[in-house]
Amino acid sequence: MTSSPALNPAITNWNGPDGLPRFEAVNDGDFAASFEAALAEHETEIDAIANNSAAPTFENTIVALEIAGDSLSRVSSLFWNRAGAHTNDTIQALERDISPKMSRHYSKIGMNAALFQRIDQLWEKREALGLDLEQTRVLERHWKGFVKSGAKLPKPEQETLAGINEKLAGLSTQFGQNVLADEKGWALILSEGPELEGLPDFLKDAMASAARERGEDGKYAVTLSRSIIEPFLTFSERRDLREQAFKAWVARGENPGETDNRGLIRETLALRSEVAKLLGYGNFAEMKLDNTMAKTPAAVNDLLRAVWAKAVKRAREEEADIAGLIAEDGKNHDVMPWDWRFYSERIRAQKFNFSEAELKPYLQLEKIIDACFDVANRLFGIRAVEKKDITAYHPDVRVFEIRDAQNKLVALFLGDYFARGSKRSGAWMSAFQSQHKLPLKNSKTGEMPIIYNVCNFAKPAEGKPALLSLDDARTLFHEFGHALHGMLSDVTYPSVSGTAVSRDFVELPSQLYEHWLTVPAILKQYAVHVETGAPMPQALLDKVLAARTFNAGFNTVEFTSSAIVDMEFHTRGPIDDPMAVQAEILAGLGIPKSLVMRHASPHFQHIFAGGYSAGYYSYMWSEVLDADAFAAFEETGDAFDTAMAKKLKDYIYSVGGSLDPEDAYKAFRGKLPSPDAMLAKKGLAVTEELSGSDA
């Protein structure tokens, strides 16, 4: 008889500084045994709740569910952090194994008849239970979650649903790992001389650092990290190299062989369609939108199509400007996707008399981090204190204590800013621990949020400061907005804490926070030259602000085409050839051949390896909200108006899912928004058209 592997207590007993995990004490090989133990423990806890002989009460059923599975939450948060931000072969192998196991585990809970009977009894008599608003929302969340897990289905259909969900979990994991493999496995190695023509020093430094990581000292690497590939496409004079790099970038997940995601897309869409039908929905999009602000695919499509018409018209005008510049250069080629960033940067330099290269020395990573913290202090009265003596999960990761006006520790924040081969692309926020106030089995009451941001900025050469593009700086503010949503949470129950809100509301706090980056008082203080320390000249600042809507057609077409394809995929039934359908949708939209989707389907991780299936539209839905919300501050004449900031904290950042999103927004703003402010922000507004045929 073989003995079970010893459990590493550091995975579930977090006794590091300020209650952090002791990351250095956790080895990759420790996770498998810890998952097995935590899954078994959670199952025991669930059985105890389901089989309780006492009549169901909110306390012995719902509160008990809220605090069950603490060990599993801790194992999971550590593991999925490592899987996304610092993975390797061992972690990826376990990820492929554990994803379906976790799905199976939660399917079993969702189909526990005795447990659902208790929840259903509470739901039926909810009006007589004397629950407050937050408790009612928590009960509703559990009841609806069980129904969507198949609790009301006959046993055979429950088993079918569980099997499908298990398959989907495995497909999602494989999809993300394939994209990472394609990103990690490709680099264009360049040499000093003509191949670097047009590239600014900040980009050459980042490319040299990337080449050194690949054992190519003295060379320069174009990688598929957005912080390198985008500036390369913007500045490289070598059209042949731009084409080569662009085609590799858009081919992620579409390369023949082991990392080809096209078959996974077909299988995923078919299985999702089957799930929707099992649960009584017409299609997967209807199912996903059932508990959102948008509510129906028709409402989403109304917004997307109205914006599309304006965006594609603007993009055609931008394309004509680029074609004119190509002709001026004495060339006769069409405008292609690898030309757009290069020529639009030249047009911006002409129109606004500044370039991205001129702006970048004023956008130091350190200063933009400071700006993020300063805005949070001005709005919400919190401050960040860096703790350089605390070890995180990677040497590049920084740890900050978040303290309130009385110097009380209210949250921990970890910032992981630089790209590396062990990290998936993009940027995201997540939590090691979410805020709540419930008493726990370890005799503690409540937990403090431990939040982290992951970005993929190009790491500078040793001793040099990291410089950001304006888009990078916005990304930093965006993700910190998500972090604030987690750190400012002030609710009782874990299931409605922080970012546990509907998908089309979750982007409001993040996208809204981006607005404060370009508030003149913030730019003047933190946009200072990397060498001289001089603030950004007023003339340059004015140009930056004037250029905010430049390339609006390009940006909006890239995004909106992806959102429309997502909705189309999930409102149709099973699709035999998703790539043909993608091409058909784009042709029907009339997308210019010089433009592509921001995320072509084979690397569209938001919808095939993330939580945004039938939900990518939510960035634009939230953009309608965030433009209107920031207008509330502009109307006061003060971007940091105290009264508005208090309402923002009380009704948006701190309430999590304890309020209905519409009620929360109306409590903050007094009304629901129209798309007008969003279209104006994008520079696409023609207000009267909203009531016309495009609306």
Gyration radius of the chain's alpha carbons = 25
Contacts of 136 (CB under 8 A, 6+ apart): 126
Burial code (b: 16+ CB inside 10 Å, e: under 16) for 655-665 equals bbbbbbbeebb
Q: Are 120 and 482 in contact (CB under 8 A)?
A: no
User: Kindly report the CA angle at 524 between 523 and 525, in degrees rounded to 5?
Assistant: 90
- Residue 431's H or E segment, with its range, is strand 428-433
Q: What is the Cα 31 distance to its own chain's centre?
A: 25
Residue from 479, 507, 558, 568 carrying the catalytic annotation: 479
Helix axis angle for 239-250 and 337-352, nearest 10°, is 120
Question: For tokens 């939108």, what's the residue?
Answer: 289
Sign of CA dihedral 402, 407, 408, 409: positive
Our CA dihedral for 18, 23, 25, 26, rounded to 10 degrees, sits at 130
Nearest CA to 491 out of 652, 657, 647, 645 is that of 657
Q: Is residue 479 annotated as a catalytic residue, yes or no?
A: yes
Sign of CA dihedral 33, 35, 36, 41: positive
Q: Are 490 and 478 in contact (CB under 8 A)?
A: no
| 561/307 Cα distance (integer angstroms) | 11
| 686/365 Cα distance (integer angstroms) | 37
For residue 404, how many other CB atoms are within 10 A of its CB? 14
Residue 198 phi/psi, 5° resolution? 90, -10
Distances (CA, A) of 318 to 92, 163, 238, 311, 323: 43, 49, 22, 10, 9
Contacts 24+ apart (CB under 8 A), 44-53: 45/69, 46/109, 46/112, 46/115, 49/115, 49/118, 50/112, 50/114, 50/115, 50/118, 51/114, 52/118
Write the DSSP symbol of residue 461.
P
Q: Are 504 and 622 in contact (CB under 8 A)?
A: yes
Alpha helices in 381-528 (DSSP H): 470-487, 503-506, 508-514, 520-526
Which positions are catalytic?
Answer: 479
